[in-house]
Structure 1
């Protein structure tokens, strides 16, 4: 039977060869995608391992031989990892990527940072790192090829007191960091794999009716159910094995371009995008096995009733119980509103399970929803084409929904992802313009005794030449009592900040002083220029001038006492927002006040990590959308063509009886358009509901309406699907000629 099955696979004429090629192509596409997802997960793990050394923690009071300090620095929206090291013992550990520790006045830089230093004026970046460049940091210490990392050598007495000591560098990745990205990639993988699996299943069922009739004829002449199942399994396994082999070959070609895809906000090292042997064996054996199992399931009606197949018995209509998984997924997400799990693993299990339940539920409930749409269509039918299409949909809603199921899942995933991202950006995203991008802030910590004390900041600012930099509009010093809580009172007044009125006069948009005042009491919201809710409830500045600007209360302290006794908490530098101005000002601040753990930056700089995460989520959503739409379109085209080939004799008889060709085309269009529009509306609504429930449970946000780009995407997706459908209609003329109506 195996040999006979192999013969039927390749010796069944052009139809058999076309079916073999199409199934192999579908399986190859699924194999490439599955291998890519596995390789991406491995690359993320390796990426985290390369950056694990930067997460090393130590103690301040031990005798470990290396003192080090990791700080963030910024340049034009990019984050620079600055690592200061000083050997305090003979056995000081050496970081990965270099062969020795840099000495005082030396530094190593990553390739991307060395290129940036060479292309940038020194006063904007290079002056922050005085000393001699002694080499390049190797890939072993860089999370990605574009990482900006600098390893600066120092003497022990030059290191801040807060710098810890270590005996070795960390090599383990925090479980939270790995689990979070694996969760995101898992959702992306599911969003991509579902349309591919549907495409493979659709291609496998191509000419299913003809195959079922052939196998039913074998049953009627004496073939046993086991023999028929063996033949069908061989047919599917051969095509799947061929497609799997082609998929492995294709993966070799896409492996390097895959490394350039920024799944985590940065490209991978090419050598990290690999699939290990266990994963290869799982894919190589699992896909053909799954295809064989699918073939056996497909032919269960042949094994049960060959006469029913010969007579084309109408399958049972779908029941309402198909809605159970969909409802269960929604209920599961709703349950966790107000009951968010505390652990990351608990949140992963809760939300991912709910999303997968909904995705599976949409596929299972699709035929029932299609049948519902067919009944509505039949109730409103007034033309023969509408009535025929409604009757056909009601006869086999599973086949009708199968054609559009890939696009439905793409719409659900896109609606959920865009709904979540839009809401998070609306609630947490920083304004990329205005004060968030043009005002630089440097915060001081008076617990650092080895750096310049904040009481001497005034003179240091004057000597730095900060106020004379082109594009710097004002420099404001905000003083803060280090023993005063920010929301409590003190002998200077009920506010946490003190500003000279002469400084405040240079920035009228931040408010002004009362007439005759020398020192104003201000709230920390002066940093953002926005009135804080705590400020209003605590009696903040409620007086406004004619231009609507705040008038800050007068502080009960003189200018002399302020300059002599009160530490500077912040330096506010108002600029024109030009990158050159911002970086020049940042460099002057860092070189004038070295050693502080928090670098000077704008609000956008400090939110860079969060903004990058938003970009990652948006990019992953785009990957799902761009990847799933073409697959869904191919699935729709294959399904429609397969349906036409299986029904070419009935269509030919209709044409011979006088039915116009345009009526048949209208029937085919309605058969695909009705389930597409019906279930698409359910998928979009379910996607928004799932996004809302997730946001309420995880962040206590309410869903915000997405922007116009989302609606354009939906319209383009549906229009593309209808275009694919229209492209198959010319086939009707060729396959419904008089010669097709004859008995075989």
Structure 2
């Protein structure tokens, strides 16, 4: 019970200790509050991403697909588009009965010609930036989509009512309900390892920040405790009273942290800057995690305070902290990273066959290795500054101050060091596995930059008209393409089939190596099998009788059977991939080589070369395509394509790193202000003796720069070590991203420099001789 009495007394001193006590408690509460806010935000991220995924799956059209129309069916056409680099999800709806399903977020289905849009899309359409998009979507807006139909506040999506679409195209589906009945895809082991390490790396600096914040004002506090010894308190009592003061600061810090969290939760624009749209309400940490934080932070404050006072002798006549201080021992500090590597070592090469990693082992090993940075940095700073020699006055002031007590300076840099070490390790892991999630598309943007395709069935004249309209669009240098249908061996239930591609000679040369060509010619793609020109089980040879029917192998397409004799003059030619990376087979024919009846139901594919000097050329092409064929698919051609999940993990890392660095900077500023406040009388003495303001300013900068430089060097070594182990775990060669390491270190150094500059105005206010006055 004496312990509780002493803790209660310490809490009383923190709350009723006058201006001095309130100032220290406030600084501690702000420092702890920043860490608690980051803890809550970080632990809320998985739930937010899960809520986004649930709403996204809830509006999918995969759960209730059917073939036959009924009173409860809805036709849904996919009309996704892109505008100025932003993806827009679009759906065309037509109810086939009174009980047709309604998409999430809508109160009713839009009438033909009406459009229901998300709030973000409505704002875009109403802005000057959305002028071209307004031309693409010239429909009346009848309402806005509610939150349950959106994955985030910046989601761009629209539902368009239409009474002309039919279930005759693969871009139109018939459903009885919205949703996705398939289980969510799990993260593969390498991505899961990346996510686990990322959360450890983001949370470790938070723990360091909280441990640093509860030790604010240590020197002044110890002098107050000496006064308590003078009136009869024993050493044990004073330590628990000090723990009570830290406990009070941490409890206020929990309240501050809750406030900071509620404020930060509304600042989702930070996530939007990284293309991650999150509703503030989605950032809702689970109750067990909130309870854990509420219990762990005060307990940590008490434990850290008792641990810090283990080597401090508080006597009635003063505090014995220095004099002949014992040098910090290094053996147990080196033991921490060794233990971390030892825990991770058994997992090396576990990812060779995409095996699972033990999450607890990964977390424990990473924590020990990064915790080794926080343990080694005070020893490193003490060892180095003890050997620093004389120099100019600012340098001497800084070095002497660090020699007298480097612990506070090292603690203030620990958060930066841990963050940089973790960031370097993650960057190495990202580089090592990036090629697993970035694949070559086979597309050739040098031949064409855009593709326009449609599975809707058009006549040959209509396909020609669409091609001409796109070719005449501003910013288009050329447009070429082809139409397609199917051929089979017989009219009913063909056992064998192949593809018939119709186009001009210029277009067909994009699909095969053709030397001589004129209208009326046909060509057979050189077969890749051993038994001649066999595609889809059908041997395509010159002079063979076939049936042209677009419904072969497709459901919902109209039967339009036309007999056709493959011309006897058809030449066999080697095929080649087109600009979109697709390789064609079967028969190539110019329009004059096929009967007119066979061109009534054709799909088409166009490739577009654009003029890069024309502004918004790509959006102009999309506008034209939307006018001539609303169900067409338009996409950009690119050399590579990145996994969306990998991109999402990287985005989350960028957001987390940005938030951590901001909070570390804020905490570092609070720490520096607290240290300046404690040295107010010392600064006043120096000013009274004629020390210039610039001299003290440079000394403060040097006093900060030395621990930062040592911390970054230690962080680089620890980060490379952890990164090397992680790369070996996923069976990747060790490679250090030197430019990324320099960037991370530069950002961290920039944060420290900015904090130092912001601390100069308070420093100048403290540099007054009247600061020597006391009562």
The equivalent of 1:29 in structure 2 is 34
The equivalent of 1:545 in structure 2 is none
- Change in Cα spacing, 1:59 to 1:205, as seen in structure 2 (3 Å) is closer
Give the one of 320, 323, 331 matched to 1:320: 331
Structure 2 SS opposite 1:475 = strand
- Change in Cα spacing, 1:700 to 1:108, as seen in structure 2 (3 Å) is farther
- Change in Cα spacing, 1:460 to 1:394, as seen in structure 2 (3 Å) is same
The equivalent of 1:706 in structure 2 is 739
The equivalent of 1:112 in structure 2 is 120
Give the one of 393, 402, 413 matched to 1:404: 413
Deviation at 1:404, TM superposition (A): 1.8
Deviation at 1:167, TM superposition (A): 4.2
The question of whether the paired residues in 2 share the 8 Å contact of 1:373 and 1:674 is answered with no
- The TM-score with structure 2 as length reference comes to 0.69
- Change in Cα spacing, 1:589 to 1:245, as seen in structure 2 (3 Å) is closer
How big is each residue's C-alpha offset from its partner over 1:605-659, in whole Å with a ceiling of 9 and x where there is no partner? 97695897466654443333333333334334535665x479x59x989x99x99
The question of whether the paired residues in 2 share the 8 Å contact of 1:27 and 1:200 is answered with yes
- Change in Cα spacing, 1:635 to 1:342, as seen in structure 2 (3 Å) is farther
Deviation at 1:248, TM superposition (A): 3.5
Which has a greater percent of strand?
A: 2
- Change in Cα spacing, 1:342 to 1:54, as seen in structure 2 (3 Å) is farther
Structure 1 SS opposite 2:155 = coil
The equivalent of 2:716 in structure 1 is 684
Equivalent-residue separation in structure 2 for 1:121 and 1:366 (angstroms): 51
How big is each residue's C-alpha offset from its partner over 1:182-231, in whole Å with a ceiling of 9 and x where there is no partner? 99898777656554544443343234245345546656875356533442
Equivalent-residue separation in structure 2 for 1:660 and 1:186 (angstroms): 51
Equivalent-residue separation in structure 1 for 2:31 and 2:207 (angstroms): 9
How big is each residue's C-alpha offset from its partner over 1:340-368, in whole Å with a ceiling of 9 and x where there is no partner? 28779848767665554443221122223
The question of whether the paired residues in 1 share the 8 Å contact of 2:75 and 2:167 is answered with no
Equivalent-residue separation in structure 2 for 1:686 and 1:127 (angstroms): 55
Structure 2 SS opposite 1:83 = strand
Give the one of 500, 520, 523 matched to 2:576: 523
Give the one of 377, 387, 395 matched to 1:366: 377
The alignment status of 1:18 with 2:23, answered yes or no, reads yes
The question of whether the paired residues in 1 share the 8 Å contact of 2:501 and 2:587 is answered with no
The question of whether the paired residues in 1 share the 8 Å contact of 2:55 and 2:150 is answered with yes
The question of whether the paired residues in 1 share the 8 Å contact of 2:189 and 2:351 is answered with no
The alignment status of 1:83 with 2:91, answered yes or no, reads yes
Give the one of 147, 151, 157 matched to 1:143: 151
Equivalent runs, 1:621-640 vs 2, <5 Å: 621-639=657-675
The alignment status of 1:66 with 2:119, answered yes or no, reads no
- Change in Cα spacing, 1:563 to 1:526, as seen in structure 2 (3 Å) is farther
* Matched residue count: 690
- Change in Cα spacing, 1:319 to 1:715, as seen in structure 2 (3 Å) is closer
Please list every run of 5 or more consecutive structure 1 residues that lacks an aligned counterpart in the other structure.
484-495, 536-554
The equivalent of 2:750 in structure 1 is 716
The equivalent of 2:540 in structure 1 is none
Deviation at 1:697, TM superposition (A): 5.7
The question of whether the paired residues in 2 share the 8 Å contact of 1:416 and 1:690 is answered with yes
The question of whether the paired residues in 1 share the 8 Å contact of 2:268 and 2:279 is answered with no
- Change in Cα spacing, 1:146 to 1:340, as seen in structure 2 (3 Å) is same
Equivalent-residue separation in structure 2 for 1:471 and 1:659 (angstroms): 68
Once the two structures are overlaid, the 10-residue window that deviates more, 616-625 or 664-673, is 664-673
Equivalent-residue separation in structure 2 for 1:710 and 1:137 (angstroms): 41
Which has a greater percent of helix?
A: 1
The question of whether the paired residues in 1 share the 8 Å contact of 2:247 and 2:302 is answered with yes
The equivalent of 1:583 in structure 2 is 619
The question of whether the paired residues in 2 share the 8 Å contact of 1:41 and 1:185 is answered with no
Please list every run of 5 or more consecutive structure 2 residues that lacks an aligned counterpart in the other structure.
488-499, 524-572
Give the one of 282, 301, 306 matched to 1:296: 306
Equivalent-residue separation in structure 2 for 1:124 and 1:611 (angstroms): 32
Equivalent-residue separation in structure 2 for 1:256 and 1:374 (angstroms): 44
Structure 2 SS opposite 1:20 = helix
The question of whether the paired residues in 2 share the 8 Å contact of 1:322 and 1:365 is answered with yes
Equivalent-residue separation in structure 2 for 1:482 and 1:320 (angstroms): 76
Equivalent-residue separation in structure 2 for 1:398 and 1:230 (angstroms): 22
The alignment status of 1:100 with 2:108, answered yes or no, reads yes
Deviation at 1:573, TM superposition (A): 0.6
The question of whether the paired residues in 1 share the 8 Å contact of 2:125 and 2:131 is answered with no
The question of whether the paired residues in 1 share the 8 Å contact of 2:250 and 2:297 is answered with yes
Deviation at 1:691, TM superposition (A): 5.0
Equivalent-residue separation in structure 2 for 1:677 and 1:626 (angstroms): 19
After superposition, the CA RMSD in angstroms is 5.8
Deviation at 1:144, TM superposition (A): 1.6
- Change in Cα spacing, 1:300 to 1:285, as seen in structure 2 (3 Å) is same
Give the one of 249, 253, 257 matched to 2:267: 257
Structure 2 SS opposite 1:574 = strand
